[in-house]
Structure 1
Amino acid sequence: MSVAAAILAALVLVLLAPAGAHAGPAPRDTGSQPVDSYANAVRQSVWVTTGLDGDRDGKPDRVAVDIVRPSEPAAAGQKVPVIMDASPYYSCCGRGNESQLKTYDKSGNPVGFPLYYDNYFVPRGYAVVLVDLTGTDRSDGCVDVGGPSDIASAKAVIDWLNGRTTGYSTRTGSTTAAASWANGSVGMIGKSWDGTIANGVAATGVDGLRTVVDISGISSWYDYYFAQGAALYDGGPDALASEVESSAARSRCSAEQQALRTGAPRNGDWTSAWQQRDYYADASKVKASVFVAQGAQDLNVRTKNFGQWWDALAANGVPRKIWLSQTGHVDPFDYRRSAWVDTLHQWFDYYLMGVDNGVQNQPMADIERTPDHWTTDQAWPPSGTAATRLGLLPGTANGLGTLSAAAPPASGTERYTDNPAQSEDTWAAQADQATAAKVSFTTGVLTGDLRLSGGGTVTLTTTPSTTSAHLSAVLVDLGPATIRDYEAAGEGITTQSTRSCWGDSTSGDSACYLDTAADTETVQQTVFSRGWADLGHYDPALHGVALTAGKPYTITLQLASSDHVVPAGHRLALIVAGTDNGLIVAPSTKPAITIDLSRSSANLPLVGGLPALAHALRGGSDSPRAAGGPATAAPAGGPAAALPASQAARLR
């Protein structure tokens, strides 16, 4: 065991009174302890029937389930809860910062499990279950990219763990395997596609799923590929399926590939295929608690996904917790390791073992304000947050307007021409310069802090000069700061050469992982919230039309959720432009856009509402500064590499 792990274990023993891991309901403030042998754990594979026949071979598809569970509880006649990660990546691409794959011995028995969940939690009385989604690795069927088959294949395993469907000891045999060792309580966890599946299964309301830990997961696949009709990536679900499917699926799933292509057209229109992959619409069915961990600068699974999911869960009274980091698409194990493992341990103990440790009463939100400096909120967004309407006023020079609490002007216009070679970083760096490619609306210098928390909107009445147009709106903190470099290769972290250990190891499965540190950069401005749209999709029904040049159209762009403090001495800016290079695909034309300021405005989630803005502009000792000091800023280099990367690499 490493020094860090030894200190952590000692700290747990000091703070938590010793208790047997399988002694029934635990008294308050005790937690599961590493009393079971990881080396002697039971490792087995089971194939669970899904009731589907996606590959059309006339037999129900079976999904592969690899299990590692402590042997001691079963020997004592006790059952254990399950931590489950359902993924398409166990053989093609790997999991975690070190891209770990499942490994097997010569007989096909599981040996190595990716990530630390088994090493840490199995000795504490949990089973860890890793599921190959349909069409991947050792499972039957076809890849469905978040669709009904994906969700059904993971849900079927929860049904099996609760005795509601059948498992088999081999992929094709008839010998059944029962989950007699499981107590029926399941917690799903995973990053990216894995977290997405957890969200989708939760939205079915399946019995037995007690909690979900959603790390950078998708809540609507439409919003992974499009932003109000504007394409975010240059490929669709069919391309992603081809990167993760098994060789067997590749040979027999051409019809399913074609269905993905036709069901998810690249024109940005909403279809039934997207409806099938829209989980937040079914948030009313969620019975599980949800713990969201999200990089606020994630330009892969963009933050609209967590924001709308969170809001829908809140509206339905779902118990929930959130961590918001300054990173991009990064697992909290790699930016706040010790605190994450400790919090995750408490979370699973409470929701899966019934340990009354008080985790449900802890602050709802942990937010990273500066690299490695975190603040908390008892509720998120915090009490007093209000959607606040701000006017877009003309300035003293063309393209340089004012963002103000004043009512919209009776008349006035601003104009820009789409330049697909420029990105939000270029616009932000030139916020105070009159340039042809964007329009800036800025506040005066703040003399007190101003916090924005949640998602906002920007309503624009615009007249294009051509038959197609894309719009971007970004919120910018204008002022110097040191931030995590989320546009670098590590998306805000650097991987070190040292290792720390989190649990027990065997010769085939190490609990020791490469350490990481914050990768930081000093910058002069931060883009902290974004919204994009295709103007032809101005109708909320998301069915696009060809534009008429010279005709005005009104559209409301949705700004992705974030939490940011613009500190005293900085200014808040809203920049409106065309194609955001590297983040949306350019339209077929390069229109000039005229904005009618009398019919345009922003609706921003200000903590304290309009009075907070007025106070931040005039200053005062009680300005709404978040504990932890000023917010931070974004780097100047553009994210131009976002579009060309393979879809599987992006979504890992």
Structure 2
Amino acid sequence: MPIRARRTRLLWRTLLTAALAALLATLMSPVAAQSAAGAPRAPGEAPRRAGESRPVYSYENAIRESVWVDTGIDGDANGRTDRVAVDIVRPRELDRTGHRIPVIMDASPYYACCGRGNEGQKKTYDENGDPVRFPLYYDNYFVPRGYGYVAVDLTGTNRSDGCVDIGGRSDVQSAKAVVDWLNGRARGYTNRTGEKRARATWTNGRTGMIGKSYDGTIANAVAATGVKGLKTIVPIGAISSWYDYYFAKGAPLYGSGPDGLARAVESPEAGARCAAAHQRLIDGAPRSGDWTRLWDERDHVPDADNVRASVFAVHGMQDLNVRTKHFGQWWDALAENGVDRKVWLSQAGHVDPFDFRRAHWVRTLHRWFDHELLGRDNGVDREPMADIERTPDHWTTDRVWPPRGTDTATLRPAKGAAPGVGTLGPRPGRGTETFTDDPGLSETDWAERIHVSTPAKAGFVSRPLSRDLRLSGSSKVTVTAIPTARTAHLSAVLVDLGPATIRDYADVAEGITTLPARTCWGASTTGDSSCFKETRAKTADVDYTIFSRGWADLGNWADARHGRPLTPGRPHTITLDLAASDHVVPEGHRLALIVAGTDKGLIERPADTPTLTLDLARTFAELPLVGGAKAFTTAASATPRAPRLDGVAPPRPLNPLPGGSTS
């Protein structure tokens, strides 16, 4: 559905805001106005448009302060409710006039342990404990334009009380309590332990949350509470259900459990007092992959009907840290509940759009916040809903996403002329294919040998396509398999067979190269620069592209939330959820489905080393194709000259993810 225009009740606020802005611009001191407004535009920044917020307020002289907000939760059981540290920077000129302003907020566990952004920036403070550097550019860019910026330390991190909760109630309440405080519904204090109250009289309460990874996950979670005052969220590479970060339908994904991530981000003080909280995470997240009450609390998808905020989501389609399953299921739930939304999908991995499309991103984000928080009618809500990166730095748009005409097509694997190399098409398959789990092989090993029979995978390939075929959305693969052992893990991947130049998502930087030159995005101070290293796309020439994948423990065949031992020699049927994607298989390429066991570096191996026999009559893929089944039938009906599949290097094998970190 299109992004709906905001409600007409914002009109009077828009008019009032414009009038006040004009008045304040005339009241500002000429020196301050000249120094702020006279800053040159950054390279690639579009000319300023009429009606957009402008950098007319001094960043150097902005108010910088810290407040501790009471969460109402005693997470470390010390007899006192936890307070979270809230670092604030806001225009001093507007404080003097009493004009109330909106807030952009990033709530994070990473401000002290790991840093934010491509350059790993951390918060810094002066000798009085007042904030000096706010990581990233949000403060530098938006404070001079009349916004307040708020950086929240989640419980148990940096200067906050309590214990890290990895997406649980305490984590979410860390940020929700701040939204409540900004709207006059929670208590804030001028220090961590004192009783002097701090009130947010400077803000109108209209809040937009933004953040990548864990930070964006908190934005999703707070929006799912339906808290009043949260007007928009911008989740970048964000989790929608924490179970799906650590497991895939019972199959453990690489990386430690939530307790490991908690220890990585918590402050030293929290580490000394939070042993009980760590144990709760361990007990509630068994590596069996069974769904527990802990995961219910951390699954935000069922609460999408509570979301009042608009959502501007960004995700890398090759993000193998926070996989696009998180985006896909969240997006679908938001659509079902009529939430205003917009999306960017890149070819990169776990990368911020500031580092793969910088100028366009800052310009778009500026217009989004102006519209959502200032009420400016700038047309951003009437623009295409989706931006999709097709090849490195080449983007297309869609009025709605998935595009109209997208429908589920059922494709079925069938035996081919050679064992282990089958066909993929609309007709039901017959017979069986057999493979033996080899935990030493990955999806790239399977894909680069798709055209030959190998014992560790079953591959099924379409005819060369006579026209482009576009997949847009989330796929499913249903597998009926007969195991030889009591445990077995399954992987299913979709592959585009044909030469292409892609972002090198398997590289350590996940599709970007960082350059020495810097560009500046906003105003700077001695302690907080707005200048960041430029990047460019890091590309790879490949002869196949894996564009969607999914995994499962076959032991979860009868119950997606609870596994059980398999019965060797008997068939078991399970459906694997494949990550959302938007991919065009070009004319002349072929579409392939691979079914195998352990995907090295992405899921853990089962206890046994099973051989699995696929019943092809009861194995099939459900793919969201633009044009539906007819599009596939048409594209596969002719036989163009197939491209060569040799002579081009495949992507490097992926390494295991480091310690479950989502930074």
Which of 45, 49, 53 does residue 16 from structure 1 map onto? 49
Hey, what's the Cα distance between the residues in 1 that align with 2:439 and 2:234? 37
Match of 2:577, as an amino acid?
A: Q
- Does the CA contact (< 8 Å) of 1:526 and 1:634 recur in 2? no
**Offset, 1:491:** 0.2
- 5 Å-filtered alignment, 1:219-238, equals 219-238=240-259
Hey, what's the Cα distance between the residues in 1 that align with 2:48 and 2:126? 40
- Does the CA contact (< 8 Å) of 2:183 and 2:200 recur in 1? yes
1:461 aligns with 2:491: no
**Offset, 1:618:** 3.6
1:647 aligns with 2:647: no
- Does the CA contact (< 8 Å) of 1:483 and 1:634 recur in 2? no
**Offset, 1:642:** 2.0
**Offset, 1:15:** 4.8
**Offset, 1:393:** 1.1
- Does the CA contact (< 8 Å) of 2:420 and 2:457 recur in 1? yes
1:524 aligns with 2:546: no
**Offset, 1:635:** 4.0
Provide the secondary structure at the position in 1 that maps to 2:139.
helix
**Offset, 1:599:** 1.1
Hey, what's the Cα distance between the residues in 1 that align with 2:97 and 2:585? 57
**Offset, 1:620:** 12
- 5 Å-filtered alignment, 1:106-125, equals 106-125=127-146
TM-score normalised according to structure 2 size: 0.92
Hey, what's the Cα distance between the residues in 2 that align with 1:9 and 1:355? 25
Match of 1:162, as an amino acid?
A: N
Provide the secondary structure at the position in 2 that maps to 1:366.
strand
TM-score normalised according to structure 1 size: 0.93
Aligned to 1:577: 596
1:173 aligns with 2:194: yes
Hey, what's the Cα distance between the residues in 1 that align with 2:574 and 2:480? 7
Which of 433, 439, 444 does residue 463 from structure 2 map onto? 444
- From the superposition, tell whether residues 71 and 610 of structure 1 become closer, same or farther in structure 2 (CA, over 3 Å): same
Which of 263, 271, 274 does residue 292 from structure 2 map onto? 271
Hey, what's the Cα distance between the residues in 1 that align with 2:509 and 2:270? 32
Provide the secondary structure at the position in 2 that maps to 1:347.
helix
Aligned to 2:645: none
- Does the CA contact (< 8 Å) of 2:208 and 2:373 recur in 1? yes
Provide the secondary structure at the position in 1 that maps to 2:40.
helix
Hey, what's the Cα distance between the residues in 1 that align with 2:242 and 2:467? 39
Match of 1:532, as an amino acid?
A: W
Gaps of 5+ in 2: 1-34, 641-647
1:6 aligns with 2:21: no
Hey, what's the Cα distance between the residues in 1 that align with 2:237 and 2:44? 31
**Offset, 1:7:** 4.3
Provide the secondary structure at the position in 2 that maps to 1:300.
coil
Hey, what's the Cα distance between the residues in 2 that align with 1:386 and 1:363? 20
1:636 aligns with 2:651: yes
Match of 2:63, as an amino acid?
A: V
Hey, what's the Cα distance between the residues in 2 that align with 1:270 and 1:238? 16
Hey, what's the Cα distance between the residues in 1 that align with 2:219 and 2:284? 23
- Does the CA contact (< 8 Å) of 2:490 and 2:552 recur in 1? yes
Cα deviation digits, residues 402-448 of structure 1 (max 9, x gap): 11011x13x41110010111100011100100000001111000110
Aligned to 1:625: none
- From the superposition, tell whether residues 81 and 619 of structure 1 become closer, same or farther in structure 2 (CA, over 3 Å): farther
Cα deviation digits, residues 257-306 of structure 1 (max 9, x gap): 00000011110000110010001110000000001110000000011000
Cα deviation digits, residues 529-586 of structure 1 (max 9, x gap): 0010000011344100011111110001111100000000100000000000000001
1:382 aligns with 2:403: yes
- Does the CA contact (< 8 Å) of 1:527 and 1:634 recur in 2? no
**Offset, 1:646:** 2.6
Hey, what's the Cα distance between the residues in 1 that align with 2:463 and 2:48? 49
Aligned to 2:632: 613
1:403 aligns with 2:418: no
**Offset, 1:465:** 0.5
Match of 1:291, as an amino acid?
A: F
Hey, what's the Cα distance between the residues in 2 that align with 1:9 and 1:448? 39
- 5 Å-filtered alignment, 1:35-434, equals 35-406=56-427, 408-409=428-429, 411-434=430-453
Hey, what's the Cα distance between the residues in 1 that align with 2:149 and 2:383? 26
Hey, what's the Cα distance between the residues in 1 that align with 2:265 and 2:650? 33
Match of 1:491, as an amino acid?
A: E
Which of 513, 517, 541 does residue 498 from structure 1 map onto? 517
1:587 aligns with 2:606: yes
Hey, what's the Cα distance between the residues in 2 that align with 1:264 and 1:199? 21
Hey, what's the Cα distance between the residues in 1 that align with 2:113 and 2:134? 14
Aligned to 1:20: none
**Offset, 1:234:** 3.7
**Offset, 1:473:** 0.4
Which of 566, 569, 572 does residue 550 from structure 1 map onto? 569
- From the superposition, tell whether residues 587 and 480 of structure 1 become closer, same or farther in structure 2 (CA, over 3 Å): same
Match of 1:69, as an amino acid?
A: R
**Offset, 1:8:** 4.8
Provide the secondary structure at the position in 2 that maps to 1:6.
coil
Hey, what's the Cα distance between the residues in 2 that align with 1:635 and 1:171? 54
- Out of 539-548 and 174-183, give the one that drifted further: 539-548
**Offset, 1:247:** 1.3
Hey, what's the Cα distance between the residues in 1 that align with 2:421 and 2:43? 57
- From the superposition, tell whether residues 404 and 11 of structure 1 become closer, same or farther in structure 2 (CA, over 3 Å): closer
Q: Could you tell me the percent identity over the aligned residues? A: 62
- From the superposition, tell whether residues 499 and 110 of structure 1 become closer, same or farther in structure 2 (CA, over 3 Å): same
Hey, what's the Cα distance between the residues in 1 that align with 2:639 and 2:42? 42
**Offset, 1:331:** 0.2
Match of 2:188, as an amino acid?
A: G
